[in-house]
Amino acid sequence: QSALTQPPSASGSPGQSVTISCTGTSSDIGGYNFVSWYQQHPGKTPKLMISEVSKRPSGVPDRFSGSKSGNTASLTVSGLQTEDEADYYCSSYAGSNNLVFGGGTKLTVL
Amino acid sequence: QLQLQESGPGLVKPSETLSLTCTVSGGSISTSTYYWAWIRQPPGKGLEWIGNIYYSGSTFYNQSLKSRVTISVDTSKNQFSLKVISVTAADTAVYYCARRVRTERTLDIWGQGTMVTVSS
């Protein structure tokens, strides 16, 4: 299975909103509502931020939201804060128990 | 609170076998709700799912790695393990173990990761 496509970088000023896209195919994102998003600060472990396209685990601020349209999923971070600066990875179920990740997007808070 | 901890050699010679173990604490590995997964991240690069195992021993692997990877489970020790044979420099990465929720297909709890370097 091929990796999902994410923009390498995104940026926004504190308080603004930014959206990160994740494009796949009908065999992964388009075929299942099992898209997850992970946040990874430098040198740290990935942290689950969104599961099943738009569900926030307990403890994740509601500034983080997810959506999907066709073969593209999106993560929106509203009210950007400096601590949101990190790498973000999408993943999708790809059938037959397979998981596929995106290449990652580096979010910079200007 | 459930925790996962990777352990194993940090340096492996080319053509040899990489072996890592993930110890699960604070909960049982023998649960029908979860799979147990391995993921890796080469330096400066993105995440790659390697595979996962169910407590019964059923395994699922990334097709690109399937010929070189074996994941096993030891329920008596609450551990699962990863072996990668015939390693090359391309296998140099931080290796993470994680809990994968079966119904949500998501990785909700991760270990801290362990760096493995393939070099002579």
Q: What is the arithmetic mean of pLDDT over A4-17?
A: 96
Closest of B44, B19, B25, B41 to residue B96, by C-alpha: B41
Distance from the A57 Cα atom to the nearest Cα atom in chain B, whole angstroms: 9
For B22-51, write each residue's pLDDT tens digit. 999 999 999 999 999 999 999 999 999 999
A91, B106: Cβ pair inside 8 Å?
yes
- Output the six-digit token pair for B19: 């072996």
Please provide the DSSP assignment of A30-47 as one string: GG-S-EEEEEE-TTS--E
Q: State in Å, rounded, how far the first CA of chain A is from the last one.
A: 35
What pLDDT is stored for residue B114 in this prediction? Answer: 98
> In this model, does residue A2 exceed pLDDT 90?
no
Chain B residues with CB inside 8 Å of A34's CB?
A: 104-106
Q: Which of residues 58-87 of A touch B (CB under 8 A)?
A: none
- The overall average pLDDT reported for chain B is 96
For chain A, say whether B106 makes contact (Cβ under 8 Å). Answer: yes
Supply the Cα-derived Rg of chain A in whole angstroms.
Answer: 13
Chain A residues with CB inside 8 Å of B62's CB?
A: 1, 98
Proportion of chain A above pLDDT 90, given as a percent: 94
Write the CB contacts of A110 (distance below 8 Å, at least 6 apart in sequence). Answer: A11, A12, A13, A14
For B69-118, write each residue's pLDDT tens digit. 999 999 999 999 999 999 999 999 999 999 999 888 899 999 999 999 99
Query: CA angle, corner A23, sides to B112 and A8, nearest 5?
Result: 60
What pLDDT is stored for residue B28 in this prediction? Answer: 94
For chain A, say whether B52 makes contact (Cβ under 8 Å). Answer: yes
Q: What is the arithmetic mean of pLDDT over A54-69?
A: 96
Q: What whole-number distance in Å separates Cα of residue B73 and Cα of residue B3?
A: 16
For A64-86, write each residue's pLDDT tens digit. 999 999 999 999 999 999 999 99
For chain A, say whether B55 makes contact (Cβ under 8 Å). Answer: no
Closest of A107, A99, A41, A38 to residue A78, by C-alpha: A107
For chain A, say whether B114 makes contact (Cβ under 8 Å). Answer: no
Nearest Cα residue in chain A from B65: A1
- Output the six-digit token pair for A49: 């931020």
Q: What whole-number distance in Å separates Cα of residue B116 and Cα of residue B14?
A: 12
What pLDDT is stored for residue B104 in this prediction? Answer: 81
Nearest CB neighbour to B49, from listed A57, A101, A103: A101
What pLDDT is stored for residue A1 in this prediction? Answer: 60
Which residue type, as a one-letter code, is found at position B100? Answer: R
Nearest Cα residue in chain B from A100: B49
A104, B101: Cβ pair inside 8 Å?
no
- Which helix H or strand E contains B96, and what residues bound it? strand B93-101
Which residue type, as a one-letter code, is found at position B83? Answer: K
- Output the six-digit token pair for A7: 């923009």
Q: What whole-number distance in Å separates Cα of residue B117 and Cα of residue B70?
A: 19
